Amino acid sequence: MAGSNEVNLNESKRVVPLNTWILISNFKLAYNLLRRPDGTFNRHLAEFLDRKVLANRTPVDGVFSFDVIVDRLLCRIYRPPSVDEAHPGMVELERPLSTTEVVPVIIFFHGGSFAHSSANSAIYDTLCRRLVGNCKAVVVSVNYRRAPENRYPCAYDDGWAALQWVNSRPWLQSGTDSKVHVYLAGDSSGGNIAHHVAVRAVESGMEILGNILLNPMFGGQERTASETRLDGKYFVTIQDRDWYWRAFLPEGEDRNHRACNPFGPNSICLEGLNFPKSLVVVAGLDLVQDWQLAYVEGLKKAGQDVKLIYLEQATIGFYLLPNNDHFYSVMGEINDFVNSNC
């Protein structure tokens, strides 16, 4: 056992920069402490350990943020400041967006395998700020309820509530067509949430312009080749994935539940629906990639527009620190995705 662990550690070290390795390894070890074998979660310790940051109405690097409460749901809004000529020193939080240009509004669902992190976690606050600068967008980060205390469908319900709120803000409208140009985005469990909120939106006739899924969290009952091949090698184990699904899915359900496996045996047919175009980023060293690739195939088979970005040498969390090529190339793709004319 000790021998194979050494091999595992050496492999992950070779593919990420030192500070990234430290960051993700720290999460991995801390999270091991938080997951209890009986399926409960040490929430107090999790909140104690999580590094959080305040919203900041003072623009920093061209982005300011503020929090809103949407019926007990906390959302953090990030936007570039627009100068108010009458009050140059003042930042207007709900200043209407451009009436001539389209300003994308990206609703972001943070990752954490449905159990960890918050909208005000430092890593996600930083990521959202980068998205604003990168895409000239407004970002709304949703502090959805987490498992195991709040199982399916709580996170999806919260995503839906946030979407409805965003859609009904006059100050988030932009462009000559005066509507809110909504994109859904998320990493890990957040990517999963983005998909399911999009399904609900489409079923309700609400328009979503695009979905951005970064290393989305999907799974299924069978064990895929990538899971077996990469188990424990790059920060993630099958065992921990299983734990998070047990924590999120309704008790007694297996991983072929549609939340986990949207194109599996319990799938809804998306064919013919006005599902948004999708940008799906898959890391080649992520052990659930076979499920993510199956998701992409599923969308294609349903006749939906999907672009896959497969990053061979990327691990989970590559987008958390801007110290690797994958980060920059993905940011470029996201920018093109939300700012293209089609």
Tell me how far, at minimum, the Cβ of 130 lies from another protein, in Å.
10
Identity of the residue, 90 or 268, whose beta carbon is nearer to another protein in the bound complex: 90
Tell me how far, at minimum, the Cβ of 3 lies from another protein, in Å.
11
Tell me how far, at minimum, the Cβ of 77 lies from another protein, in Å.
8
Task: Report the distance separating Cα 72 and Cα 329, nearest Å.
Answer: 36
Task: Report the distance separating Cα 141 and Cα 126, nearest Å.
Answer: 11
Active site residue 65: no
What does the block give as tokens for 107? 């609703």
Buried b (16+ CB within 10 A) or exposed e, 317-327: bbbbbeebebb
Strand order in the sheet with 73-79: 64-70, 73-79, 138-142, 104-109, 181-187, 210-214, 277-283, 306-311
* Residues 260 and 193 sit within 8 Å (Cβ to Cβ): no
Tell me how far, at minimum, the Cβ of 167 lies from another protein, in Å.
15
Identity of the residue, 120 or 261, whose beta carbon is nearer to another protein in the bound complex: 120
Task: Report the distance separating Cα 18 and Cα 112, nearest Å.
Answer: 21
- The contact set with another protein (CB under 8 A) reads 1-2, 5, 9-10, 13-23, 25-26, 28-29, 32-34, 36-37, 40, 42-45, 47-49, 51-55, 57, 61, 66-69, 71-72, 74, 76, 87, 89-90, 93-94, 120-123, 126, 145-146, 149-150, 320-325
Identity of the residue, 102 or 180, whose beta carbon is nearer to another protein in the bound complex: 180
Tell me how far, at minimum, the Cβ of 22 lies from another protein, in Å.
5
Identity of the residue, 54 or 268, whose beta carbon is nearer to another protein in the bound complex: 54
Task: Report the distance separating Cα 187 and Cα 317, nearest Å.
Answer: 9
Helix (H) or strand (E) holding 142: strand 138-142
DSSP state string for 151-210: -TTHHHHHHHHHHHHHHT-GGG-BTTTTB-EEEEEEETHHHHHHHHHHHHHHHTT----E
What backbone torsions phi and psi does residue 26 show, to the nearest 5 degrees? -60, -45
Identity of the residue, 255 or 326, whose beta carbon is nearer to another protein in the bound complex: 326
Identity of the residue, 36 or 301, whose beta carbon is nearer to another protein in the bound complex: 36
Pairing mode of beta strands 104-109, 181-187:
parallel
Give Cα 294 to chain centroid, integer Å.
18
Tell me how far, at minimum, the Cβ of 143 lies from another protein, in Å.
8
Q: Which of 113, 117, 188, 226 is catalytic?
A: 188
Helix (H) or strand (E) holding 245: helix 238-248
Helix (H) or strand (E) holding 287: none
Q: Which are the catalytic amino acids?
A: 188
